[in-house]
Amino acid sequence: MAMNYNAKDEVDGGPPGAPGGTTKTRRPDNTAFKQQRLPAWQPFLTAGTVLPTFFIIGLIFIPIGIGIFVTSNNIREIEGNVFMYYGLSNFYQNHRRYVKSRDDSQLNGDRSALLNPSKECEPYRRNEDKPIAPCGAIANSMFNDTLELFLVANESDPTLTLIPLKRKGIAWWTDKNVKFRNPPGTESLKERFKDTTNPVNWLKPVYELDPEDEDNNGFINEDFIVWMRTAALPTFRKLYRLIERKNDLHPTLPAGRYYLNITYNYPVHSFDGRKRMILSTVSWMGGKNPFLGIAYITIGSISFLLGVVLLVINHKYRNSNNTADITI
């Protein structure tokens, strides 16, 4: 079983029996890519990289957390714009079947979808043999309580001053101007919706949501748009009205007693839901939400602590490793 070694190493493989012939070499190219010698950066974790990382994370996160927390908790007299929200609890707008139950083509003003809504809207698709506009469970369950805010003049004089509540400018710009559109046409809104019927649980049809303002009526009614933007969690709040700042001299909502008048149309007892009203100002990072601030401070502190712990462990084990010499 002797093997005749070919002293020429250049040609390998190939059938034997063709010595000295011009056999094509099958050797792969000696390029960096094919020989896996590409230039590369090879980092490795040492104490010098890991420990400073932990300390830096701690040193950066803690001030950020404090900054966020202070911003969130800033209590000042209510100036600037004040936002009025309605909140619902135990209302699962994020249920899978509920989220699907809409027809975005219809809401975008497509005439064919208006008269023939999508199957996803079942069972809120047709009623009394007419297509429902807007169809689906989301539209059907629209919040329809009315909230009004009054300022009581003073203890002795019980006259109520109505606080002006702005009802436009509460929905996302892209929703109002791009996503939601009324069906096209030059005739009145009522005419454009003539072969449709309102959702089962609505008191009035969609073209009467705001008869005073054409720009806020029909599908582009901002309360409707805000409701259609389904919430992610069972406890949520949605922007209801805007209380605009009058001028720099007076606070938007002066201190005093207020009177909230609620027209109760929306029943929530059957599913143990709860309703509430929230008044809030906003900052550069949104409303009052201490979560991020607290989380940053916590994680920054933990990171710093871990850095210290790792430093101690590193010191202890490096010393013990150095004494036992490694010879291979």
Residue 167 interacting with another protein (CB under 8 A): no
Please measure the distance between the N-terminal and C-terminal CA atoms of the chain and give it in whole angstroms: 38
Stretch that binds another protein, among 81-89, 151-159, 245-253, 256-264 (CB under 8 A): 81-89
Whether residue 177 contacts residue 251, with contact meaning beta carbons closer than 8 Å, is answered with no
Minimal distance, residue 155 CB to another protein, in Å: 32
Stretch that binds another protein, among 106-114, 156-164, 184-192, 253-261 (CB under 8 A): 106-114
DSSP 169-223: S-S-HHIIIII--PPP-SS-HHHHTTT-B--TT-SS-GGGS-TT-GGGSGGG-HH
Whether residue 78 contacts residue 263, with contact meaning beta carbons closer than 8 Å, is answered with no
CA-based nearest residue to 241, from 149, 167, 161:
167
* Helix (H), strand (E), coil (C) string for 60-107: HHHHHHHHHHHHHHCCCCCCCCEEEEEEEECCCCCCHHHHHCCCHHHH
Whole-number Cα distances in Å, 69 to 78, 207, 225, 278, 280: 19, 44, 32, 20, 16
20, 24, 40, 157: which one contacts another protein (CB under 8 A)? 40
143, 172, 258, 259: which one contacts another protein (CB under 8 A)? 172
Minimum CB distance to another protein smaller for 143 or for 172: 172
Residue 37 interacting with another protein (CB under 8 A): yes
Residue 56 interacting with another protein (CB under 8 A): no
Stretch that binds another protein, among 45-53, 124-132, 191-199, 201-209 (CB under 8 A): 45-53
Q: Give, as ranges, the residues between 4 and 33 that touch another protein (CB under 8 A).
A: 4-5, 7, 9, 12-16
152, 231, 277, 308: which one contacts another protein (CB under 8 A)? 231
Residue 326 interacting with another protein (CB under 8 A): yes
Minimum CB distance to another protein smaller for 169 or for 211: 169
Residue 50 interacting with another protein (CB under 8 A): yes
Q: How far is CA 190 from its chain centroid? A: 35
Site string for another protein, 244-273 (x = CB under 8 A): ------------------------------
Residue 256: phi and psi, rounded to 5, are: 155, -170
Tokens at 76, concatenated = 């000042």
User: Per DSSP, what are the bridge partners of residue 85?
Assistant: 239, 278
Stretch that binds another protein, among 92-100, 183-191, 199-207, 209-217 (CB under 8 A): 92-100
Q: Give, as ranges, the residues between 272 and 291 that touch another protein (CB under 8 A).
A: 280, 282-289, 291
150, 236, 259, 266: which one contacts another protein (CB under 8 A)? 236
108, 116, 127, 201: which one contacts another protein (CB under 8 A)? 108
Whole-number Cα distances in Å, 126 to 13, 129, 135, 196: 76, 6, 8, 9
62, 137, 170, 189: which one contacts another protein (CB under 8 A)? 170
Residue 163 interacting with another protein (CB under 8 A): no
- Give the position of tokens 């002293």: 7
